[in-house]
Structure 1
Amino acid sequence: MTERKLKATIKRVTPLLEDFLSVSRYEIEAERHAGGVQRRSWLVMERGHSVGVLGYDPKRERVVLVNEMRPGALVAGDYPFTDNLAAGGIMPGETPIEAAVREMKEETGLELRSPLLVHPGAYASSGGTSEKIAIVVGIVDTRDAGGVHGNRDEHEDIAVVVLPLATFLERVRSGAITDLKTLYAGYWLAENRTRFHEVSGD
């Protein structure tokens, strides 16, 4: 944060695409750090805000992730079937916790208990999108976890991935996990998992 609070103002918005996500050209007038004002246009992608949710089974020391094809990874030249947090959009009127419970059920078939909001919402990439992602961690029972789930209306094809906690944390620390929200949740759980042992009675 600079000592002086600089100002920026949206002067014009030109919609370019309206679909699952929208893209608009924003003309913005912003003060410069060295003095003066500049006016530029940016393309900004918008699709609302979302939540990522990590399921943790403290009795069995396991976590639940989901695996699905991620087109952004494919376009970037990477293997697109990646292990990530269950995640989805926060619907109008929903809290991040409510959205997390819903998404966990839709994408894994599991009930999320004792959900904890560990981050209220961080920008995914504020240079190009207005989306903020909240992070929720909660307790799940992994005894019957598995299978393929997802919202049929959204053509989702989501495989449940159950990992030992130690394996998950090693993948986080080694860089094998490449999704930022999943990394954040992993580092948070590494430092705070005893909270859930206390809740579950272990």
Structure 2
Amino acid sequence: MTQLHEYGQDDVSIQSETLAYNGFFKLKQLKLTFKRFVGGESAVIDRELCVRGDAVGVLLYDPALQKFAMVEQVRIGALNRPCSPWMLELVAGMLDKEGEDPVDVAHRETMEEAGLNIEQLTPMVEYFPSPGGSSEFFRLYCGKVDLQGVSSDIFGVEEEHEDIRLHVLDVDDVVAMLKQGVINNAMSIIALQWFQLNRQELEQQWQAS
């Protein structure tokens, strides 16, 4: 495979770094330079960085019933859009402690947000959702669950002010919502597109194990 990246971490120089805000998220102000493709080094540029930790998302799937379990909750980032700020999403959560195992987070968040136990867990993709201004990094998994007898219910951790509704939906219905743009958040779009590309292999892998 052809090497894509000519430059790496050592080719960016941080001149100064200031913590501008320290709340639910952190905001840093950076002054930096970087090597240019045409040669030489850039001028000193100012950038703001929203500091967020690593996060995990889990697409919950019952291959026997051909159903997904997905969650709905309000998202403040969509308040100024014509669509509803309540979004249909994957179960998801942040790594609370440095060195925490993402697999442990996947199991914990699935129980907290959906009341379900994961029987098998398969890695999907890892990605930066918005690297132009945020350090957040996502790991996505597909989790095998038993949805027999499971229906819509309310979950979430009260101390974290979570108000989460669980939905159990047919795969075909979810794919239709994806195509229609009803599902409009990056994490869910990426996971569902991965599922469509890898569904047969995933089900064979789970069946074999």
TM-score, scaled to structure 1: 0.91
Confirm or deny that 1:83 pairs with 2:85.
no
- Report the 3-state secondary structure (helix = DSSP H, G, I; strand = E; otherwise coil) of the residue aligned with 1:68: strand
Q: In the TM superposition, what whole-angstrom CA distance separates every residue of 1:173-198 from its partner, at most 9, and x where no partner exists?
A: 33221111101111111122232365
Match of 1:169 among 172, 175, 180: 175
The amino acid that maps onto 2:111 is K
Structure 1 CA distance, aligned partners of 2:72 and 2:203? Answer: 24
What is residue 112 of structure 2 aligned with on the other side? 106
Identity %: 28
- The runs of 5 or more residues in structure 2 that have no matched partner are none
Match of 1:151 among 146, 157, 174: 157
What is residue 188 of structure 2 aligned with on the other side? 182
On the 8 A contact 2:57/2:91 being kept in 1, the answer is yes
Confirm or deny that 1:196 pairs with 2:203.
yes
What is residue 33 of structure 1 aligned with on the other side? 37
Structure 2 CA distance, aligned partners of 1:26 and 1:126? Answer: 15
The amino acid that maps onto 2:7 is K
User: How is 1:44-83 mapped onto 2 (pairs within 5 angstroms)?
Assistant: 44-83=49-88
- Report the 3-state secondary structure (helix = DSSP H, G, I; strand = E; otherwise coil) of the residue aligned with 2:116: coil
- Report the 3-state secondary structure (helix = DSSP H, G, I; strand = E; otherwise coil) of the residue aligned with 1:75: coil
What is residue 13 of structure 1 aligned with on the other side? 17
On the 8 A contact 1:108/1:145 being kept in 2, the answer is no
Structure 1 CA distance, aligned partners of 2:106 and 2:199? Answer: 18
| CA deviation after TM superposition for structure 1 residue 50, in Å | 0.2
What is residue 28 of structure 2 aligned with on the other side? 24
Structure 1 CA distance, aligned partners of 2:120 and 2:169? Answer: 20
Structure 2 CA distance, aligned partners of 1:12 and 1:137? Answer: 40
Shifted more, 143-152 versus 51-60: the winner is: 143-152
- The runs of 5 or more residues in structure 1 that have no matched partner are none
Structure 1 residue runs of 4+, over 4 Å off?
Answer: none
Q: In the TM superposition, what whole-angstrom CA distance separates every residue of 1:86-119 from its partner, at most 9, and x where no partner exists?
A: 1110232322221111111110111112011112
Q: In the TM superposition, what whole-angstrom CA distance separates every residue of 1:118-163 from its partner, at most 9, and x where no partner exists?
A: 12x2101000100011101011122224211001110000000111
The amino acid that maps onto 1:138 is G
Structure 2 CA distance, aligned partners of 1:31 and 1:183? Answer: 34
The amino acid that maps onto 2:90 is L
Match of 1:118 among 119, 124, 130: 124
